[in-house]
């Protein structure tokens, strides 16, 4: 008996060893995490692990043996890039019609290589080939070790005789094990962007997607996080944050498979987007960017922020300019004299520049409202008889910079551009047009249109080399998706969504080649475009047209999961019932601007605003480049509290806001525990940016505490209805 058992154990061990010999195991590591890919006996590639690194990397090869997921009636759930039409029974990452009409694809591992790009960055490329068709997919995994970031994309190529139709072509196909998965995504609409919703995923597929064409967001941004086993807090729990770098239609499928594991397939939305690929042409999918943390959401966000500042956001380690915008101050109702009058306000406030918004252009159909003129980018002679050049000159004389708004991808049907170039407009020629904000989208698939759009920026910037800032807006979505250019070129209309976004990137690339330094704000009818591909070209983004500061606390908070504060443009406007101090304090959690008539401010408000900008100068390094710690979540409490600490932990600034104004509310009783400090050092705390006369709170004098005390016990910012926003400065005392 005993010897029989021994023999069978030995046989198992030997057969495992011989399988292991044929197997290829590919660990893709960052500082703390690893994604492990492994071939199976049929040379298919699977994801066998995505989690914290093991001490002994030789043990990665063993992981798959612990899982009994090899029953043959469900297929392979953890394939690294799941093809359709052969063995797969789950949501595919790739679905293809081959040149001969065959709908089946198989992908087998053929090779991989890892290249070190620099001390922090590595690129692993895995080549998968179909054994029957000359068709291949390369999987790219770029790791940013210190930031724990994994960037993934794919390249698809073939050498078939006829075009291959790509029906689905994901960027990433991840696999997470765990017992429970809690998905947090962000719903909303215009002026109510980024409203979080958390759901425990059940078996089957939960899809997040967009079919808007010219932007990713209106209802749902391409960013989410998944907590594993239990909802993660800021400091505890395992959480994966993910975001797709694509400024158009996307689709995320979260599929809880029959084993209770999570398959995650992300990329361009295949909706109406069959792509016919010529032989020897590469189709590159957008980057899907993830970070994994076993220490909660706070660490995951800091990973993304550090990565973005260093590697992605335009001028992420630089400075930002404060500004006075005229949109909510004047809307379309302005002329040269009124604008020059506003410059004085900008100077009085002490902002860096004046930003002229919508309404400055078009003559035959003047842009005096949002239903005419878009597309006709000549200065409106009635409003600006001396042109933009004059405004730039006057602003310079007033000691401020001058910036300008454009919405170059769009056209009003009431415009000379539309009259001249209907063939440049995305529309169904046989059907009535549908408008979003009275406008249509130009056909950026067409290189002539790309030249036109580039030309708008180029003309403005060559004629006015001193222009200091651009706000790039995009208010419409793509209805009636039809490109006359694609028809002329005999290309399928189903290329339209992909090629629109590629056309946009081509234009932005040209703009940045020629004008690398000018700061540019990415805006899309509020916060419709906030993604990491567009942010390669932009220094900042506009989170929402909702400028009520109470709402902004939430919108900015929710964006902060994925995007660093240096990129967030926050404007003080007349919107909202909160005091000016509250508005300014909220705007300071990012890059502040004003959108008011400064001359209408009472003298003490003006003095306070001016003083606030000086205070901002003294803390902006922390907000721009510091580490963000979210302390009290307004989604679950009556206050919001967060802190930015310098990476060397010597200084921090803490923002606190009342977010529930009910009069029966109990006062904030408990201290708020700080984070991001050194327990072994001492820190002095004092309140800054106090409105003159508001002396409550008892925090005006410096009080010194140990970091240990502040992080275990905390400090009470004394947020009350009379002190609805409180900023504390925390400085090391030696
Ligand atoms: C929408 C933007 O979000 C606003 O800030 C403003 O620029 C308007 N467009 C102008 O039309």
Residues 479 and 410: beta-carbon distance below 8 Å: no
**How much is the pLDDT for 22?**
78
Whether residue 318 is contained in a domain is answered as: no
Whether residue 247 is contained in a domain is answered as: yes
pLDDT bin (cut points 50, 70, 90) of residue 21 is very low
CA distance 423 to 425: 5
State the CATH number of the domain containing residue 82. Answer: 2.70.98.60
CA distance 228 to 225: 10
Same domain, 118 and 191: yes
* Average pLDDT score over residue span 421-439: 97
Q: Give CA 177 to chain center in angstroms.
A: 26
Name the percent of the chain lying above pLDDT 90: 92
DSSP one-letter string for 545-592: S---HHHHHHHHHHHTTTS-GGGBEEEE-S-SSS-HHHHHHHHTSSEE
Examine the pLDDT at 1 and tell me if it is beyond 70: no
Residues 426 and 444: beta-carbon distance below 8 Å: no
Judge if the beta carbon of residue 304 lies within 6 A of ligand 1. Answer: no
Same domain, 253 and 112: yes
CA distance 532 to 67: 35
Residue nearest to atom 2 of ligand 1 (CA): 525
Residues 179 and 159: beta-carbon distance below 8 Å: no
* Average pLDDT score over residue span 216-221: 94
Angle at 643 between CA 639 and CA 646, to 5 degrees: 175
DSSP one-letter string for 634-691: TTTSSEEEEEEE-TTSSEEEEEEEE----TTPPP--SPBPP-SS-TTSEEEEEEESPP
CA distance 156 to 68: 32
CA end-to-end span of the chain: 74
3-state SS, 206-253, equals: EEEECCCCCCCCCCCCCEEEEEECCCCCCCCEEEEEEEEECCCCEEEE
Residues 332 and 358: beta-carbon distance below 8 Å: yes
Of residues 443 and 7, more confidence is placed in 443
* Average pLDDT score over residue span 356-376: 98
Same domain, 231 and 87: yes
- What are the phi and psi torsion angles at 470 (to 5°)? -125, 135
Of residues 120 and 703, more confidence is placed in 120
- What are the phi and psi torsion angles at 228 (to 5°)? -105, 135
Query: What size, in residues, is the chain?
Result: 734
Same domain, 102 and 129: yes
- What are the phi and psi torsion angles at 182 (to 5°)? -115, 115
pLDDT per position as a tens digit, 643-661: 999 999 999 999 999 999 9
Q: How far is the CA of 489 from the centre of ligand 1 (A)?
A: 35
Give the residue numbers spanning the domain of 339.
323-626
pLDDT bin (cut points 50, 70, 90) of residue 6 is very low
CA distance 317 to 624: 8
Other CB atoms closer than 10 Å to residue 2's CB: what's the count? Answer: 6
**How much is the pLDDT for 13?**
36
Judge if the beta carbon of residue 543 lies within 6 A of ligand 1. Answer: no
pLDDT per position as a tens digit, 264-280: 999 999 999 999 999 99
Same domain, 551 and 442: yes
Same domain, 267 and 153: yes
* Average pLDDT score over residue span 458-477: 98
Examine the pLDDT at 662 and tell me if it is beyond 50: yes
Same domain, 330 and 407: yes
Q: How far is the CA of 499 from the centre of ligand 1 (A)?
A: 25
CA distance 138 to 531: 24
Residue nearest to atom 11 of ligand 1 (CA): 358
Q: Which atom of ligand 1 is nearest to the CA of 471?
A: 7
**How much is the pLDDT for 17?**
38
Judge if the beta carbon of residue 652 lies within 6 A of ligand 1. Answer: no
Judge if the beta carbon of residue 358 lies within 6 A of ligand 1. Answer: yes
**How much is the pLDDT for 550?**
98
Both structure tokens of 262? 């999570």
Same domain, 416 and 528: yes
Side-chain-facing half-sphere of 54: CA atoms under 13 Å: 14
Residues 239 and 180: beta-carbon distance below 8 Å: no
Same domain, 281 and 335: no
Q: Among 485, 54, 425, which residue's Cα sits nearest to residue 214?
A: 425
Last residue of a domain, one of 257, 291, 312: 312
Whether residue 685 is contained in a domain is answered as: yes
pLDDT bin (cut points 50, 70, 90) of residue 73 is low
pLDDT per position as a tens digit, 442-460: 999 999 999 999 999 999 9
Name the percent of the chain lying above pLDDT 70: 96
**How much is the pLDDT for 74?**
63
Give the total number of structural domains in the chain: 3
């Amino acid at each position: 008996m005993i010897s029989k058992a021994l023999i069978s154990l030995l046989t198992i061990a030997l057969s495992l060893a011989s399988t292991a010999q044929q197997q290829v195991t590919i660990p893709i590591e960052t500082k703390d995490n690893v994604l492990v890919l492994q071939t199976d006996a049929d040379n298919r590639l699977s994801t066998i692990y995505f989690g914290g690194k093991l001490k002994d990397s030789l043990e990665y090869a063993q992981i798959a043996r612990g899982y009994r997921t090899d029953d043959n009636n469900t297929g392979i759930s953890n394939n690294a890039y799941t093809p359709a039409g052969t063995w797969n029974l789950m949501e595919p990452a790739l679905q293809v019609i081959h040149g001969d009409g065959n709908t089946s694809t198989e992908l087998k591992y053929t090779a991989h290589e890892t290249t070190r790009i620099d001390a922090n960055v590595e690129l692993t490329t895995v080549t998968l080939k179909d054994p029957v068709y000359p068709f291949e997919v390369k999987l790219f995994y770029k790791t940013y070790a210190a930031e724990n970031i994994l960037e993934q994309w794919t390249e698809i190529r073939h050498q078939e005789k006829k075009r291959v139709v790509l029906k689905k072509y994901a960027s990433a196909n991840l696999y997470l094990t765990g017992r429970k998965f809690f998905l947090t995504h962000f719903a909303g609409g215009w002026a109510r962007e980024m409203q979080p919703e958390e759901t425990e995923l059940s078996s089957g597929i939960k899809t997040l997607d967009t079919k808007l064409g010219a932007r990713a967001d209106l209802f749902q941004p391409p960013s989410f996080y998944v907590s594993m086993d239990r909802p993660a807090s800021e400091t505890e729990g395992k959480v994966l944050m993910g975001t797709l770098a694509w400024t158009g239609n996307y689709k995320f499928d979260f599929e809880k498979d029959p084993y209770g594991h999570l398959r995650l397939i992300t990329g361009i939305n295949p909706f109406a987007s069959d792509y016919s690929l010529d032989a020897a042409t590469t189709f590159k999918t957008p980057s899907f960017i993830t970070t994994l943390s076993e220490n909660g959401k706070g660490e995951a966000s800091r990973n993304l922020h550090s990565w973005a500042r260093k590697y992605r956001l335009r001028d992420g380690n630089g400075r930002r300019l404060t500004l006075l915008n005229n949109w909510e101050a004047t809307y379309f109702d302005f002329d040269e004299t009124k604008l020059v009058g506003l410059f004085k306000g900008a100077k009085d406030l002490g902002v860096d520049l004046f930003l002229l918004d919508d309404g400055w252009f078009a003559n035959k159909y003047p842009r005096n409202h949002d239903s005419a003129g878009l597309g006709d980018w000549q200065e409106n002679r009635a409003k600006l008889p001396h042109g933009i050049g004059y405004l730039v000159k006057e602003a310079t004389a007033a000691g401020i910079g001058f910036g300008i708004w454009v919405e170059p991808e769009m056209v009003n049907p009431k415009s000379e551009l539309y009259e001249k170039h209907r063939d440049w407009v995305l529309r169904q020629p046989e059907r009535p047009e549908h408008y979003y904000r009275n406008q249509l989208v130009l056909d950026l698939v067409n290189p002539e249109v790309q030249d036109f759009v580039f030309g708008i920026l180029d003309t403005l910037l060559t004629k006015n080399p001193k222009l200091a800032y651009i706000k790039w807006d995009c208010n419409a979505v793509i209805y009636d998706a039809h490109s006359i250019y694609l028809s002329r070129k005999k290309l399928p209309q189903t290329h339209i969504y992909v090629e629109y976004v590629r056309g946009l990137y081509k234009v932005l690339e040209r703009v940045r080649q020629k004008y690398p330094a000018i700061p540019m704000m990415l805006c899309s009818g509020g916060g419709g475009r906030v993604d990491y591909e567009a942010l390669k070209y932009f220094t900042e983004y506009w989170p929402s047209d909702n400028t009520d500061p109470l709402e902004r606390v939430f919108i900015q908070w929710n964006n902060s999961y994925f995007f660093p504060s240096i990129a967030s443009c926050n404007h003080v406007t007349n919107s909202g019932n909160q005091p000016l101090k509250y508005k300014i304090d909220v705007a300071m959690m990012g890059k502040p601007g004003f959108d008011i008539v400064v001359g209408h401010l009472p003298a003490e408000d003006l003095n306070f605003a001016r003083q606030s900008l000086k205070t901002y100068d003294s803390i902006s390094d922390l907000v721009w480049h510091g580490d963000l710690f979210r302390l009290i979540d307004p989604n679950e409490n009556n206050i919001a509290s967060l802190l930015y600490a310098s990476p060397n932990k010597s200084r921090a600034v803490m923002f606190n806001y009342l977010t529930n104004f009910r009069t029966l509310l109990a006062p904030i009783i408990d201290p708020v525990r700080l984070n991001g400090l050194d327990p072994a050092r001492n820190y002095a705390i004092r309140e800054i940016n106090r409105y003159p006369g508001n002396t409550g709170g008892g925090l005006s004098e410096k009080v010194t505490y140990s970091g240990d005390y502040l992080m275990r016990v905390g400090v009470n910012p004394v947020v009350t209805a009379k002190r609805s926003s409180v900023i504390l400065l925390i400085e090391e005392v030696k």
